[in-house]
Amino acid sequence: MLAGGLETDWKQRAYEDADVQRVVAELKKLAPDDLEGRLRIGGFTLTPYVGEEDPEIEQACSTCMYYELHKKYCALPELDLYAEPEWSCILWRI
């Protein structure tokens, strides 16, 4: 879906607690099998996010606290999906 051009909310970075809570609340409204919704609301990208104001900031699943590298898996309960290490989403955390 991502490679096919699915548009996601990747620009809406969730840095503040209120933003995280908003995104998580939106994800919780989705049906369990709504993968497209999780990708869209989660703001997934196929490449690491690089900060627009600070190019030193690079966010990829591989460096996220929720990523299980050996399984290639995002363990954040509201996402709960397979992910490649170079992908990224707006809920990235270190």
Closer residue to ligand SF4, CB minimum distance, 18 or 65:
65
Of the pair 41, 79, the CB lying nearest ligand SF4 is at 79
Number of residues that bind ligand SF4 (CB under 6 A): 13
Contact between 37 and 7 under an 8 Å Cβ cutoff? The reply is: no
Tell whether the torsion through CA atoms of 52, 54, 60 and 64 is positive or negative. Answer: negative
- Comparing CA positions, the residue from 39, 25, 37 lying closest to residue 82 is 39
Residues 17-76 that bind ligand SF4 (CB under 6 A): 61, 64, 66-67, 74, 76
Look-up of token digits 């996402």: 79
Where along the sequence are the contacts to ligand SF4 (CB under 6 A)? 61, 64, 66-67, 74, 76, 79, 83, 87-89, 91-92
